[in-house]
A and B are shown apart, each in its own frame.
Chain A
Amino acid sequence: MECCRNLEQIDIDPNKNKIVLVGNPNVGKSIFFNYLTDTYVSVSNYPGTTLDISSGNYKDKIVLDTPGVYGVSSFNDEEKVARDIILSADIVINVVDAVHLERDLFLTQQLIDMGKKVVVALNMMDEAKNRGLNIDIDELEKELGIRVVPTVAVKKKGFSDLENNIDKAQKGKISLKQDMEKELDNINENVENRADSLLILEGDENVASFHNKKPREYREKVYMQRRNRVNKIVEKVITKEMTNKNIGDKIGSLLLRPLTGIPILLLLLYALYQFVGVFVAQTLVGITEEMIMIEIYQPFIIDLVSSFIAPQSLIGKILIGEFGVLTMTVTYIFGLLLPLVAGFYLFLSLLEDSGYMPRIAALVDRGLTYLGLNGRAIIPMLLGFGCVTMATVTTRLLGSKREKIIAIFLLGLAIPCSAQLGVIAGLIAPLGFKYFVIYVVTIFLVYAIAGTFLNKVLPGESTDLLIDLPPVRVPEFRNIIKKTYLKSKYFIVEAGPIFAGGAVGITLLKEGGVLQWIQNAVAPFIVGWLKLPKETTEAFIMGIIRRDFGAAGLNSLALTSDQTLVALIVITLFVPCIAAMLVMIKEQGIKQAAMVWLGSWIAAFTVGGIVALFI
């Protein structure tokens, strides 16, 4: 019986044998994937999650990559996806970090216990050697009962040897003791699939309900037996020589120690701002958006479409009007968003692959606990400065629903995205230092108060930080580029249709007169409470589509310094852009998204009004 629930929805040939790459996070798995599948790779969204799965062809077989996991179970989306793919595997290539045998072999042993045919790629052999670790490969093969191929992935060492051993993948030695093996046999009588049975024995609810069984409560017992077996193996195969402290370790502890770590972090944020906020958002986007899209592409497409369709007709306005699908949408996606997203992903991939990210999480953990989050939440928060839409997607890595709600709300409320930051910086700089400080302090206060408030009122408890700190390493260039490319492409595919749909909607509202009606209805409020000129409303309405759009709209108004400050604060705290809202609906449901949206309105205008009162 084929077990795997969602796999058929991914576009892969069911008749081909599947090689599945499995490993802990940060073991260099993707380098193996890239090597094996050089010519054609497809990335598909895994149904029901926001994860994408890479697959490609290797000879007559299909190679599937899996998210990095510490074990096969269902603690989070990554693990569920990895589990389903592993269950469907004909052959498993298990990439193991030679420096972290104790941790990684737990997964290896679990794969073996599942009865899978496994071959181990024992990676980072050079690093193990540098650290004075001597691993007896023959002994390890004997203990595990499967082939073990030493590799150094970044230098492509051992790859051909690994290729020769793929077909020699075999079932290894089980770690379960007799008592558990007997329980497993009982389950397997009906299930008739050892891998599924093992997961049911380990209490996996999804797999159990798939087979109409009750999950068993032997997880800890099985895990203990496995852990003991792994510890024994490690003791047998590793001999340590003189250990001299590795340079990566030294950097690693400098990054963690607050005295050095905090200045380095601030420096990094500054570098990030310079790269994404200044170089990409201003210089590069100046070329892609202004020069290429607005000056060359738009006149061309308007001309072209005009020769078939009257520009003043409804269709004409939808296609090439102010919010046209072919004009504004294409310009924003390719001229503005793509460079920003790609730039940000490049930076983020570097942080990820170098092992710095988890250290940042540890450093800021304390501050974030006041907001009901833990250090992990720094990842979506950092991402939010690039693009709130993307950041919303990554909130899935947070440990509880409560944390996701807080993070998404804070992202939607008080994190301006890079496009918006660029416009804001341009408007606030001429006003002088005083205004800059009021702006930053106000936004920060709103962020902190909103987080503290949500932490108080939301039921339940947030999870604590428990995070594995990978060694600090020099990232592999090709891998960084590939990651950036795949993620940017995925973003365009995801955000493109959403954006086009939003553009059509706005054109219809405008043509129907609804936009003007809103403008007149809220005018007294804008003038009376925020003390802004009536025309500012137009900028705010634009801001509903995209906040940077709104900020840009302020540019053309004649505002006093005080008015500019109030308007910028309002537009920063304003509702998330359409793309971000749609992702929020997808991630959290319409109810929650609506709350974020309304909450942003209230916060933006309340705070704006208060600031207007005092300055």
Chain B
Amino acid sequence: MTLAEIDRGSDFKVKRIPDDIIRIQTLRMGISEGSKLNCNEKIPGGPIIVKHNYQEIAIGRNLAKDIEIELFTEGSD
């Protein structure tokens, strides 16, 4: 599934970030393919806010549609 389809509050793992520049930028912010994140907020029709420890990042909806993720529940992996 893509990041755009996630529900608020869900935990997920980043599977693939196809865009080279975006991948580099998120890498610097601390998020890479394989990172485990939480969807902190989902603004209707707007950006997805993801949280990683204390780091919050707003990701535009269109960009979120390109990011592949997979859900996981705490404890499993």
Interchain CA distance A466-B58 in the complex, whole Å: 6
Q: Which residue of A lies closest to B43 (CB)?
A: A258
CB of A369 closer than 8 Å to a CB of B: yes
From A99, A224, A256, residue with most partner B Cβ within 10 Å: A256
Q: Which of B36-66 contact A (CB under 8 A)?
A: 40-41, 43-47, 49, 52-63
CB of B30 closer than 8 Å to a CB of A: yes
CB of B24 closer than 8 Å to a CB of A: yes
Q: Known A99-B54, A256-B49, A466-B22; judge A369-B27 contact (CB<8 A).
A: no
Interface of B is mostly: mixed
Interchain CA distance A471-B54 in the complex, whole Å: 8
Which residues of B are found within 8 Å of A469, using beta-carbon distances? 49, 56-58
Interchain CA distance A142-B29 in the complex, whole Å: 23
CB of A455 closer than 8 Å to a CB of B: no
Please tell me the number of chain B residues within 8 Å of chain A, measured between CB atoms. Answer: 32
CB of B16 closer than 8 Å to a CB of A: no
Expressed in whole angstroms, the minimum distance between the Cβ of B6 and any Cβ of chain A is: 16
Interchain CA distance A33-B22 in the complex, whole Å: 31
Interchain CA distance A103-B56 in the complex, whole Å: 11
Interchain CA distance A227-B29 in the complex, whole Å: 10
Which residues of A are found within 8 Å of B47, using beta-carbon distances? 362, 365-366, 375, 465
Which residues of B are found within 8 Å of A258, using beta-carbon distances? 43-44
Expressed in whole angstroms, the minimum distance between the Cβ of A127 and any Cβ of chain B is: 9
Interface string of B2-39 (1 = CB under 8 A from A): 00000000000000000011111111111010000000
Which residues of B are found within 8 Å of A362, using beta-carbon distances? 43, 46-47, 49, 58
Expressed in whole angstroms, the minimum distance between the Cβ of B17 and any Cβ of chain A is: 11
Decide if B25 touches A106 in the complex (CB within 8 Å): no
Expressed in whole angstroms, the minimum distance between the Cβ of B60 and any Cβ of chain A is: 3
Decide if A220 touches B23 in the complex (CB within 8 Å): yes
Decide if B58 touches A465 in the complex (CB within 8 Å): yes
Decide if B40 touches A365 in the complex (CB within 8 Å): no
Interface string of A347-389 (1 = CB under 8 A from B): 0000000000010011101100100001100000000000000
From B27, B46, B54, residue with most partner A Cβ within 10 Å: B54
Residue in B32, B58, B59 whose beta carbon sits within 8 Å of that of A361 in the complex: B58
Q: Which residue of A lies closest to B45 (CB)?
A: A366
Decide if A366 touches B43 in the complex (CB within 8 Å): yes
Residue in B44, B45, B56, B63 whose beta carbon sits within 8 Å of that of A466 in the complex: B63
Which residues of A are found within 8 Å of B59, using beta-carbon distances? 464-466
Q: Which 4 A-B pairs have the closest CB atoms?
A: A465-B60, A464-B60, A464-B63, A366-B46
9 other contacts beyond A102-B55, A375-B60, A466-B60, with CB at 8 A cut-off? A107-B28, A253-B40, A361-B58, A365-B58, A366-B44, A374-B60, A375-B46, A464-B62, A467-B57
A-B residue pairs in contact (CB < 8 Å), sample of 8: A75-B25, A223-B28, A362-B58, A365-B47, A365-B58, A366-B44, A465-B58, A466-B59
